[in-house]
């Protein structure tokens, strides 16, 4: 999800998962299949065929039929691929329970994940298995990891839960205990020199490895003992990277094990980094409101107006907004207008459309010409207006305030608007 339109693709992905989450089978009969990159299609097909055979043992006749039908659908879709896409492939299929008893529709969903998946899963459950995809959603930011002690240094990149080791080097620095016969002062001096050379080398690798990572959010340094602090405090890091060191953590190990420890220990910390950013963004907006600078606005109509006048610097959208933008046209007089309705009320709105009077001519001949998720519509407008988009979760007090007190839609403006 590191493309230019990251907030929108992230949002679409999230809404798709929410849609899938609502699907339920009448029995244990919804199929989820995760195929990682590199897996051969023929191998996955073989496994699915054998699952189809096993499903023949299911006692309930309806469930058995539904499971086997779903597996057939998955295999049909899988067959359309010559090879597994670079990020893997996820297929869901099953008979979704309808409102009426015994009535359900077979539905199939094929998803190419936005980031590589590493799991090979087959699941048959009451619902689709979405957790690995939700994990990807949480995982779009990149971090650098350095695990270092006086003997070795390991460089890794972290995206979500996935840490990739980029390089491992050894120090060549002699141990703390000198060999017999060496003068201790000379030994210390030599050790210092080696250590300095080693730190410089680490610094160069850091530049080489991390300076080029797009959207690097920060660097976490770990390791046993005080070497990591000595390195961070010294003047060995490129100035752009120096600002990115977020935290230093103690680990028991170095190398690959040390990197794993860093990942485990920083999970909560990294979550708090994003929350911190979100709070800052909302607070920036609130300061404008509080000081009445005229450089902020909120509310759906107001923000849309500001976007249309190319006056939005930052568009703040709460992830909790569940609204749709509906475009109507009167068949009598040609009058066009837009309405914003709750996503949950959209169906009822469409059903009642025939009874709505046109605001211009009073006839009851509205037709719906377009409907769009409000967030999607706003993000598209923001793109046209060259505004930054910030999706804000409701996990912080400020995020909750944005949703509850400001309707989840707000903007920091470029210039004051004359009302
Ligand atoms: Zn009309």
Q: pLDDT, tens digit, for every residue of 161-204?
A: 678 899 999 998 877 766 666 678 888 888 889 999 999 999 99
CB-CB contact of 314 with 388 (8 Å): yes
pLDDT in tens, 39-56: 999 999 999 999 999 999
Residue 373 CA to ligand 1 center (angstroms) comes to 25
Residue 351 CA to ligand 1 center (angstroms) comes to 19
pLDDT reported for residue 251: 95
Residue 357 CA to ligand 1 center (angstroms) comes to 8
pLDDT reported for residue 181: 65
Query: How far, in whole angstroms, is CA 25 from its chain's centroid?
Result: 27
CB-CB contact of 25 with 60 (8 Å): no
Residue 302 CA to ligand 1 center (angstroms) comes to 25
365: tokens are 């001949």
What SS3 state is found at 63?
Answer: helix
386: left (phi over 0), alpha (psi -120 to 50) or beta: left
Reported pTM: 0.61
Residue 340 CA to ligand 1 center (angstroms) comes to 19
Query: How far, in whole angstroms, is CA 327 from its chain's centroid?
Result: 30
Residue 93 CA to ligand 1 center (angstroms) comes to 44
Residue 39 CA to ligand 1 center (angstroms) comes to 58
Helices (H) and strands (E) in the chain — how many of each?
12, 16
pLDDT reported for residue 178: 65
Residue 352 CA to ligand 1 center (angstroms) comes to 16
What is the block-wise mean pLDDT of the chain (419 residues), using blocks of 10 residues?
A: 55 84 90 95 96 94 94 94 93 85 81 88 93 77 91 90 87 74 81 93 96 86 95 93 92 94 83 82 96 95 95 94 93 93 91 90 91 91 92 89 97 84
Residue 334 CA to ligand 1 center (angstroms) comes to 6
pLDDT reported for residue 105: 86
Residue 366 CA to ligand 1 center (angstroms) comes to 7
Residue 343 CA to ligand 1 center (angstroms) comes to 25
Please name the residues in contact with 255: beta carbons below 8 A apart, sequence gap of 6 or more.
Answer: 147, 152, 154, 168
pLDDT reported for residue 138: 66
Residue 326 CA to ligand 1 center (angstroms) comes to 16
Residue 330 CA to ligand 1 center (angstroms) comes to 5
Residue 360 CA to ligand 1 center (angstroms) comes to 5
Residue 336 CA to ligand 1 center (angstroms) comes to 8
pLDDT reported for residue 4: 47
Residue 370 CA to ligand 1 center (angstroms) comes to 17
pLDDT reported for residue 245: 93
């Amino acid at each position: 999800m590191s493309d230019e339109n990251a907030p929108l693709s992230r949002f679409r992905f999230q809404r798709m998962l929410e849609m899938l989450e609502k699907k339920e089978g009448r029995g244990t009969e919804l199929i989820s299949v995760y195929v990682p990159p590199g897996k051969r299609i023929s191998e996955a097909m073989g496994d699915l065929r054998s699952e189809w055979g096993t499903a023949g043992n299911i006692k309930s006749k309806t469930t058995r039929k539904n499971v086997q039908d779903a597996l057939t659908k998955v295999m049909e879709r899988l067959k359309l691929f010559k090879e597994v896409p670079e990020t893997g492939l996820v297929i869901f299929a099953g008979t979704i329970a309808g409102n009426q008893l015994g009535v359900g529709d077979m539905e199939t969903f094929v998803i190419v994940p936005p980031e590589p998946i590493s799991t090979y899963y087959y699941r048959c459950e009451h619902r689709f298995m979405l957790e690995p995809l939700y994990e990807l959603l949480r995982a779009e930011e990149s971090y650098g990891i350095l695990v270092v002690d006086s003997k070795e240094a390991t460089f890794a990149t972290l995206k979500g839960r996935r840490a990739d080791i980029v390089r491992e080097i050894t120090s060549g620095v002699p141990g703390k205990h000198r060999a017999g016969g060496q003068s201790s002062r000379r030994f210390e001096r030599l050790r210092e020199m080696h250590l300095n050379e080693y730190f410089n080398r680490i610094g160069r690798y850091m530049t080489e490895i991390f300076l080029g990572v797009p959207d690097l959010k920060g660097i976490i340094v770990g390791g046993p003992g005080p070497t990591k602090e000595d390195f961070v405090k010294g003047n060995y890091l490129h100035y752009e990277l120096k600002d990115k060191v977020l935290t230093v953590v103690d680990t028991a190990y170095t190398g690959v094990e040390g990197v794993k420890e860093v990942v485990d220990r920083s999970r909560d910390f990294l979550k708090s980094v994003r929350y911190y950013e979100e709070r800052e963004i909302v607070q920036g907006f609130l300061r404008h409101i509080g000081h009445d600078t005229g450089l902020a606005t909120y509310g759906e109509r107001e923000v849309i107006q500001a976007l249309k006048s190319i006056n939005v610097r930052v568009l703040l959208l709460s992830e909790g907004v569940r609204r749709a933008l509906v475009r109507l046209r009167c068949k009598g007089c040609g009058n066009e207008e837009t309405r914003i309705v709750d996503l949950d009320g959209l169906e009822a709105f469409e059903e009642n459309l025939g009874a709505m009077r046109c605001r211009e001519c009073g006839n009851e001949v509205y037709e719906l010409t377009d409907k769009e998720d409000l967030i999607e519509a706003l993000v598209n407008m923001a793109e046209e207006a060259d505004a930054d988009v910030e999706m804000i979760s409701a996990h912080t007090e400020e995020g909750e305030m944005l949703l509850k007190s400001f309707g989840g839609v707000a903007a920091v403006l470029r210039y004051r608007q004359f009302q």
